[in-house]
Structure 1
């Protein structure tokens, strides 16, 4: 029975380490998807003159989970209640945030982006999107650096932490 418990502890801790490593490795991927989505939204809005609700709905079918959920909820909130883009973006961001691996820095950048949606003329909107992209580029570089630095360590730490617990318990 002791061995079963020991194996269970090691497997659980290893799983926790791999889960933490997955979140670290998902962050740069999700940032790239987010940047792709924002650039596509810019193209649809500014050059295709597509309404924000339609452009977001279209993007939700093209992007991968969980970023597609953000754009899907944003589109549905715009369609259902006709809220301002800022309120719909904030609510969508709040609803989908736990699904992502993004950090607080990215959340603030996305909140600022949401505050500018639909508030400015075409040139100002384009400048705001470029500013958002600069911030997201910086966050992506940091995320890649963290991935290289911590991903393998977290996997090993999970296993070794479980092993330490088992040794201390015996």
Structure 2
């Protein structure tokens, strides 16, 4: 009976290590996709501002509806915080949405900083200035996307293997 429990415990530790490695690998794979989706959302926002003359809350809501989670929640929450019910400024709305939804993304602080910097300009300056800042944020995000793709190529496969190996090491050390 006891060896069977040890074997079961070893299997559980090994599976847990492997799953942790696969989860980390998924984060490396998801980050570039989310950054690309964020860049496309900002380009849509630029179009809404320049050609559609759409009010910012409506533009963010519209863009958010076309996105996948977790960015969908981020954009729609920012739009919601600008509603008369909350009455927050664009900057406060975006920051509040970032605080509420950012941890669900695979993105890092550099991407968040780009959005926070952009939030200070949205709704407070003229159309041309907003378009320049959106283009600047998109450019910064493109650099981050390239770095994220490099990280994915370097570390995705390694994370999977490392998770399995750490699980095996723990099993060896325990037993």
Q: What SS does the aligned partner of 1:65 have?
A: coil
Partner of 2:71 in structure 1? Answer: 67
Deviation at 1:143, TM superposition (A): 0.3
What is the alpha-carbon distance in structure 1 between the residues aligned to residue 8 and residue 86 of structure 2? 55
What is the alpha-carbon distance in structure 2 between the residues aligned to residue 145 and residue 120 of structure 1? 36
- Report 1:33-112 matches (<5 A): 33-79=37-83, 80-112=85-117
Deviation at 1:118, TM superposition (A): 1.0
Cα RMSD over matched residues?
A: 0.8
Deviation at 1:82, TM superposition (A): 2.2
Cα deviation digits, residues 122-161 of structure 1 (max 9, x gap): 1111111111011000000000000000000000000011
Q: How many positions carry a matched residue from both structures?
A: 170
Structure 1: which 5+ runs fail to align?
A: none
Runs of 4+ more than 2 Å apart: none
What is the alpha-carbon distance in structure 2 between the residues aligned to residue 99 and residue 111 of structure 1? 17
Q: What is the TM-score of this pair, normalised by structure 2? A: 0.95
1:155 matched to 2:157: no
- Answer whether contact 2:49 2:131 (CA < 8 A) is retained: no
Structure 2: which 5+ runs fail to align?
A: none
Rg larger for: 2
Q: What SS does the aligned partner of 2:106 have?
A: coil
